[in-house]
Structure formats: structure tokens, C-alpha cells
Amino acid sequence: MVLVGYLTVRRKNYKRYLSKDSRPYAFELTLVKRRAKLRTMAGREDSPSKIIDKETAFQRIFALRKAIEYHNSRYYQKDAPEISDAEYDRLMKELQDLESRYPDDELALSPTRRVGAAPLSKFASFTHLEPMLSLANAFDAEGIRDFDSRVRRLAKIERVEYVTEPKLDGLAVNLIYENGRFRRGATRGDGAVGEDVSQNLKTIVSLPLKMNNGASLPVPELIEVRGEVYMEKEPFEKLNRRRAEEGEAPFANPRNAAAGSLRQLDPKITARRPLNIFFYGVGAAGNAAFADHWEILEALAAWGFTVNPLVRKVPDIDACIAYFEEIGSIRSGLAYDIDGVVLKVNSLEIQNILGSVSRSPRWALACKFPAEQAVTVIRDIIVQVGRSGTLTPVAVMEPVNVGGAVVSRATLHNEDEILKKDIRIGDTVLIQRAGDVIPEVISVLAGKRTGGEKEFRMPRACPECGSEVVRQANEAAHRCVNLSCPAQLKEHIRHFSSRGAMDIEGLGEKLSAQLFDAKLIADPADLYFLTKEQLLGLDRQAEKSAENLLNAIGRSRAPALDKFIFALGIRHVGERTARLLAEHFGNLDALRSADCEELTAISEIGPEIAQSILEFFAEAKNRTVLEKFQRAGLSPRALPPPVQAGLRGKSFVFTGSLESMGRNEARTVVESLGGIVHSSVTGKTSYVVAGSDPGLKLEKARKQNITVISEEEFLTMAGRPIHRLA
């Protein structure tokens, strides 16, 4: 892969970052700027060997931690380091020595512990206390004005104050701080449930492990803080060069690099990646009270969270549009990728009035910049066969850099599209890429034609199985008619095991194809009948990896109903529709026996989707597969009924420690659903939730005949069923 000229060279000075990245850990420093301030911060100059009593050791440990976090912040957040890396290393070394001899309660939050957690085998799932919403989009000034008109109409006001910020092309995360201490953090996931990546987040040195006290607003007992993890452009380029040298595939863009790094099972690898984070908001805010969004940002900054310096408070929509244009004009000079700006109504009162619709707040808007374009040459047009048998023509192009990512393929959608644009093999074309989407060919530069270009025709036979290819009267797509087409089946199995579906770790595209080609599986249900002996018969399958795969398959035997419905690969049934169906029907049998009327009665499900669901369950082959799933002991878990203030009037007492959350978090969960938490058991207590090592309260509850429930039962009651790992 051509990496030279991978990115436009930015004029900023990133030497610091670049040299750091080649070293083992992210907190190693390189700039040399000595100052004696350190000594005053770290206290006395005693060498560790001289410290004899425990108390002195703890004082020294405390001072060192404070000093190191101070220097981290000088270096990573303020960009103004005060000590050399040698001095910094010395402090770290001393702290590590002392901590190994005098471990204390605060060890987990020590700067030495940002790295060092053991690799995981899989991420646990994490239910956000407050869902992470997605934003509605606008693409121009007109769309922005429409948004403002709607806001003014709904809120019945003349002029709206907004807060504007650049929209980073990174990865949204949600962090929980309890009493000012970082407790856990997760990726956004589907907005309701993400992946617990706490260990990896801790390696990001600009992420505070402890919130600053002494800001005008006290540190709340519990707060969810939202941020965007990203990678700057230059360190990204450097990382890719190193990967190329080491024979690893480069990342397509900084966003993918950041996402891949944050979703590393080994935190030591994450620590080596130059990740950074900006904070932009809060979720469940516990007892913190804010008047407007700007105040939230100010509080976050005072508590030690880095807020993007380009954030502005503006008086009206004209200023928003000016901001959108201004940021657009400086975009390429920024150290990081952005794909637009975000507007938020400043007043939280008005935000409340506006509310949300279908998981998007009506008080915020993502204004996207126009897509980026580039010119390249089409070398070939190939045809891919998808899960539903659709043949998709794909242009294979000279690799070209579009908006920071090297691309070599573009979708051509279907034959009509190719004819309409008159795209030929050998043509020079203008391509466009917006965000993460696969690039598109916009137009052919006909003036560059030499006469040697070749026209493309859709093949009459499926390139995978040779079966007939047909085109339905009212469809643009060509399809392979063979229901047993290996390309379709392979794609089907790959979809089934993918992350949004059954999430079978280790069963990627290659392995599913290998299993299929070896005739070990013909459909997804066959996965559950695989044996270790069969797997060991495959090429490059070792004992350990075979075991891991079987374990991963085993773990997927009790999937959430919505994931299972999505995994079935019913045409037009994406993740969201699958969730709606799961919520409505509660189990698979009810869905199977539903008729068109019942299906279309669900909002968002139209006749086309309903038809496709009916056809799926009517198909004999699918019925056979479903029976096989049953024989394999697969039992999808029903979703708990959606709860809205579902615990109203109920009082809870907790005893023992909970596995999935702290007490404060549990209190927030109960209160958000209208319930109350008491500290002691009385005759009025509705439930006693018993965690591990429950105390006397449990006995008392039993004596008074009060219902005792487990943590799991509590979570189900609260609509947050635990997704337990095997």
C-alpha cells in the first residue's frame, strides 16, 4: 500500500507527539524544559531508601501522585511541560517503588496504574445510566435555519442562545465518576448499551482519574461525563508508517485507529496509541445542578476535563451559521479530523421542553461539512454477492487519498447507476466520501477518455455459483436466484456471528468461509453442532483457538431476543427494527405467528418490512434452520418490558456489594425510575436487594417477611438486565 503522501502534511509542530509514540508508554515525556518547581510540588528530596516509617512513605506517595498528574496535565492538556522526561521518569520510578512496598486504597487511581491491567478475553457490556442519543443532521445553512425555526416554534420564543462546538470524528464514550473518582467507562455502543473499556480509557493520560476539588461547583456524588476519544492526524500518520514497517495493515483513518485502539483487549497496546479526549457533556448528573449547557462545560473544565477550546456560546442562529462557515474554513489546519459542528440549545429548561424524538434530542443538531472529493482511475469493476443474493458492482480504483483516508474501492450500487453515469473500466472519475461511508463515484471525467475504456455489463450468471441472475421488474438490483448460493450463505453466516448480531468472538469472515468450504456448516444453526475434532481438522486450527471458538459459540446460546432477530438476517430488518419487534412480541413464537396487520400496527414497520418478515418465516428452509436452533438449545432471552417510572412508589434497601454498580449508581437507577432508596429496613420497605456478603439487613428483612431479591432480579426489574459472560 502506498503510504507516502498519505495525508497532507500539516504545518503544526508535532515532534513531541511523534517521538513519544515510538516509545513504550504514552506517559513518557520528551520535551526538555527544566524547572525546580517539581521539587516543591513533590515535597522533600529524600531518596526512597531513606524513608523508613509508613506515614512518611504515604505522604511522599501522595505528593508524587499529585506532582505526576500535574505534569501530565501540563504536558497533555496545557501543552506546556515543565520538566524533562528524565525527571518525569525518575518520579514515576520512585512512585512505583514506594507503591510496591506500601500499597494503599488509592492504588487503583495512581498514575502508575494507568497502564498495567491484564488483557481481557472480552469486554463486558455496560448499560448507560442515561442513554447516549444520536444527533439529527443538517448539511447547509438552510437546514440549520429550519432547525432553529422548529426550536423557536416549539419553545415559543423569539431568539435562541446556542452553544457551538466542532464535531470530532472520533469515538463517543461515557464515563462514570463516583465521588470525583473515575470508576468505569464505556463506548457508546447502540446508545443504550456499550462496551466496558475502563482499563483502556485509563491509559489516556488527558483523562482525569480524579476530578479537581475546589471548583465553584462541588464534585457530585455520581456523574456521567461524555467525551469523544480521538487521534490527532500526525500521530495517526506516524502510527500507520510504523504499522507498515511491521507488516501490519494500516488503519483507514484516524477515527478507525482511535476506535481500534480503544477496543483493544490488551490495555498495554492501547497505552501505546496516541489517544486523546475532549469532553462535551454530562449524562446522569447526580446531585449536580446546572442552569445551562455552557455552565456544564465550565464546570467540566473546572473539574479537570479538557473541553475543546473552539467551543463558543453564541446569541442566535446567524452566529451559528457564521461559526459553521468559520470552522469549515479552518478545518484542514486543525490537528484532528472533524466532520462538522454541533449546535446545542444552551438553556436546559428549553432543552427539557423540546425533549427527544426517536432517540435524537430536538435541541441539538449536527451540521455536516460537504463530503470530500478526489480524482482517480477505475482499473476494474468486480461484482460482489451479498447476503440476500444481491449483485453489487464495485469499482476497483487506483488508491487515492480522500479527506484523510486512502481508498481503493467505491460502490457503483447497480447496473442502472453505471449506465446513467456511463462509467467504464479505465475511466478517470471524481469520487466522494462522507464520513465512514464507502466512497461513491460522482461523475466520469469524459475529457480524459482515450478510447481504450471498456463498458461494463452485469454478468448473466452468479460469479460465485454460476446460477442464473435475475432482475425483478420493479427492482434495481440483480439477484442470484440460488438460495444455496455459497456467497449468500457465507455472507449470511458472517452476518449472524457479527458484533451487532450474535457477537461470536473469533468467527470472522475468513473462518466462516473456511468452515463453510470444509462443509462443516451450511447455515448458522450448524455452528452449534460443531465439535472440537472437526475444528482441529481444519488448516491452522490449534487446540486453544478451537476451544476458544467453541466457548464463544456456547456463550451465544442465550442471546438477547433483539440480537437474535437481527442475526437471522431477515431482509429490511436492521438492528433498530429487530429491537422494535423484540419489544413488541417478547418471544420468537409470537413474532412467527404474527400476521401482516399485527406487524404493520407497530409504528415504524411498513408493509415492505412486514412482507419481508412474513416471507422469511414462510420459507421452508428458514423453518428448518429455526428448528435446528431449537434442537441446539438456543433460547433467546426476552427483553424486559420497557419501563417508564416503573419503580414508582417502591422503596429499596441495598445490602452487601453489587457486582455491576456502586451504591450511588444503584440509587440513581432506582430514583430515575421513580423509586426511593432507604438505608434501613422498615415495615414499609418493598424490596431488599442482597448483593454479595449481605449484612444484618438481610436477616431483618427475612424476619419481617420483606421480599429479598438478587442483584440480577433487581437489574431486570429496573430494565437493565445483566449481560453475563460465561
Active-site residues, by number, are 167
Using the minimum distance from each CB to Zn ion, give the nearer residue, 388 or 600. Answer: 388
CA atoms within 13 A on the CB side of 216: 8
The Cα 347–Cα 349 span in angstroms is 5
For residue 654, list its beta bridge partners: 689
To Zn ion, the closest distance from the beta carbon of 482 in angstroms equals 5
Output the smallest distance, CB 479 to Zn ion, in A.
9
Provide the β-strand partners of residue 199. Answer: none
Q: Given candidates 201, 314, 418, 480, which one binds Zn ion under the rule CB under 5 A?
A: 480
- Nearer to Zn ion by Cβ, of 373 and 467: the residue is 467
Task: Sketch the per residue contact string, 458 through 477, with Zn ion: x for CB under 5 A, - otherwise.
Answer: ----x-xx-x----------
For cell 486523546, name the residue.
Answer: 276
Q: Does 296 bind Zn ion (CB under 5 A)?
A: no
Q: What is the chain's alpha carbon radius of gyration, rounded to the nearest angstrom?
A: 28
Mark the segment that binds Zn ion (CB under 5 A) among 114-122, 457-465, 562-570, 634-642.
457-465
CA 207 to chain centre: 17
Nearest distance, CB of residue 485 and Zn ion, angstroms = 3
> Shortest distance, CB of residue 517 to Zn ion, whole angstroms?
15
Residue 89, sorted as left (phi over 0), alpha (psi -120 to 50) or beta, turns out to be alpha
State the cell numbers at 181: 473518582
Binding of residue 489 to Zn ion (CB under 5 A):
no
Q: CB 395 → Zn ion: shortest distance, Å? A: 21
CA distance 190 to 172: 11
Do strands 390-402 and 372-385 pair parallel, antiparallel, or not at all (unpaired)?
Answer: antiparallel
Give least dist CB 464 to Zn ion, A: 5
> Which residues have C-beta within 8 Å of that of residue 595, sequence separation ≥ 6?
614
CA dihedral 553→554→560→564, nearest 10 degrees, is: 40
DSSP one-letter code for 482: -
Closer CB to Zn ion, 385 or 552, in the complex: 385
Give the per-residue SS3 of 224-253.
EEEEEEEECHHHHHHHHHHHHHCCCCCCCC
H/E stretch holding 121 reads none
Distance CA 127, CA 124 (A): 10
Q: Report, in Å, the least distance between residue 513 CB and Zn ion.
A: 14
Cβ at position 231, least distance to Zn ion in Å: 40
Closest CB 488 distance from Zn ion, rounded Å? 6
CA atoms within 13 A on the CB side of 225: 36
- Side-chain-facing half-sphere of 504: CA atoms under 13 Å: 29
Taking residue 233's Cβ as centre, other Cβ atoms within 10 Å add up to: 23
Q: Are 636 and 650 within 8 A, CB to CB? A: no
**Do residues 418 and 412 make contact, with C-beta atoms less than 8 angstroms apart?**
yes
Q: How far apart are CA 663 and CA 201, in angstroms?
A: 22
Q: Which is nearer to Zn ion, 317 or 462 (CB)?
A: 462
Residue 99 or 464: the one with the smaller Cβ distance to Zn ion is 464
Which part of the chain contacts Zn ion (CB under 5 A), choosing from 23-31, 406-414, 485-493, 545-553? 485-493
8 Å CB contact between 424 and 456: yes
What are the DSSP calls for 434-460, one per residue?
-TTSPPEEEEE-GGG--S--B-----S
Taking residue 261's Cβ as centre, other Cβ atoms within 10 Å add up to 23
Residue with cell 485507529: 257
Of residues 233, 231, 204, the one with CA closest to residue 335: 233
Least distance CB 611 / Zn ion (angstroms): 23
Strand arrangement of the beta sheet that strand 676-678 belongs to:
676-678, 651-655, 687-690, 707-710
CB 163 within 8 A of CB 391: no
| C-alpha span between 76 and 175 (Å, rounded) | 19
In the complex with Zn ion, which residue's Cβ is closer, 94 or 491?
A: 491
Question: Contact between 485 and Zn ion (CB under 5 A)?
Answer: yes
From residue 540, alpha-carbon distances to 452, 491, 494, 497, 514 in Å are: 44, 22, 19, 20, 11
CB of 389 or CB of 524, closer to Zn ion:
389
Minimum gap (Å) between residue 480 Cβ and Zn ion = 3
d(CA 408, CA 433): 12
The Cα 66–Cα 81 span in angstroms is 15
Amino acid at 123: F
> Nearer to Zn ion by C-beta: 444 or 462?
462
Identify which range of 92-100, 333-341, 433-441, 456-464 contacts Zn ion by CB under 5 A.
456-464
Q: Least distance from C-beta 497 to Zn ion, angstroms?
A: 21
Residues 6+ apart with CB under 8 A from 620: none
The contact set with Zn ion (CB under 5 A) reads 462, 464-465, 467, 480, 482, 485
